[in-house]
Structure 1
């Protein structure tokens, strides 16, 4: 992905009636509200690399016309690439090819039916991308409690052992005997 460079200006599509505190953004990053940023920093959470202000030039809404003046202030941030790595032996991931690089652990993933991290590789970040896990960032239990406590919106948090991604409906990988 290309890095989103300043000035950060963009258009926001509002799918519901309310603005979310956490919105997918360009370049593998996210837009978060000022309320999110203040709470995240106050509580000393880690794993998001900086918060850069975003100018909303337009807000499009599905149900009503919305102007950008009614939107909360948004900031752009990206999760860090932490040292945490997927525990292949304890995870249920179907890969198209074997892992050849232990540093990135990147391969084409066909399905995910739950995963676990190697505990000794996680350094305590609250939000991060894990090695061997494409796509969504992983969050700590502390981050989950943070979201609940502040009633932050527009986030679907799934326990790692229940996380499923199977776009071709291939099913879980066969158990290794």
Structure 2
């Protein structure tokens, strides 16, 4: 049974893969079939990256000691272990669909990685998109490109981010989602945070959205939380 939307304010977090640690795992697709990106239902423009179509075949590269429960590829495609998927469903969390089996055709080891055990079963999942939206007035970002005028997709191309805020009333209870305005960021609910901690899900990190920083050019110069 899906969780109800709580009456008290919900905290939100940006979900990212961990780059280091004992569960450091990467993947690359093998001869992928590519489909179109999502289209905005209002302006018709593309949203996000091109889609990955079946069959889902990957090569894994293990840099740590054990395989991780969560992986995000360069195009934003998500892989989770079967353990992750079963616990996610059992707790009634929402926002992920698909759960398509993935074929691991090869496992490569990093220079310091030990000889691995067989990998767990991985599934390809798709996060929901379309309801929660960024509050573009209260979120902190800098961009040299004009913001798209479409009031639905609200597409921005930031050069730097120093904190995000969701528009009040747009969140409908999703536990994992990509927000309108910034498809490339994956956001999760406080319920997801507790789920990940309770089940010790590996190879992921959670950052409160108000503290999320992406500033490769140093445009904010230390003023992130001011």
Normalized against structure 1, the TM-score is what? 0.90
Counterpart residue number, 1:8: 56
What is the rounded CA distance, in whole Å, between the counterparts of 2:141 and 2:50 in structure 1?
28
- By percentage of residues, which structure has more helix? 1
Please tell me whether the aligned partners of residues 14 and 60 of structure 1 are also in contact (alpha carbons under 8 angstroms): yes
Counterpart residue number, 1:84: 132
The runs of 5 or more residues in structure 1 that have no matched partner are none
2:198 is the alignment partner of 1:171: no
The runs of 5 or more residues in structure 2 that have no matched partner are 1-48
2:127 is the alignment partner of 1:75: no
Please tell me whether the aligned partners of residues 22 and 32 of structure 1 are also in contact (alpha carbons under 8 angstroms): yes
Q: CA RMSD in A?
A: 1.8
Which of 1 and 2 has higher RCO (CA within 8 Å, sep 6+)?
Answer: 2
Counterpart residue number, 2:173: 124
Counterpart residue number, 2:152: 103
User: What pairs up with 1:13-28 in 2 under 5 angstroms?
Assistant: 13-25=61-73, 27-28=75-76
SS in 1 for 2:160: strand
Please tell me whether the aligned partners of residues 60 and 66 of structure 1 are also in contact (alpha carbons under 8 angstroms): no
What is the rounded CA distance, in whole Å, between the counterparts of 1:56 and 1:157 in structure 2?
27
What is the rounded CA distance, in whole Å, between the counterparts of 2:147 and 2:118 in structure 1?
49
Please tell me whether the aligned partners of residues 147 and 154 of structure 2 are also in contact (alpha carbons under 8 angstroms): no
Counterpart residue number, 1:47: 95
Normalized against structure 2, the TM-score is what? 0.71
Please tell me whether the aligned partners of residues 62 and 113 of structure 2 are also in contact (alpha carbons under 8 angstroms): no
Counterpart residue number, 1:145: 194
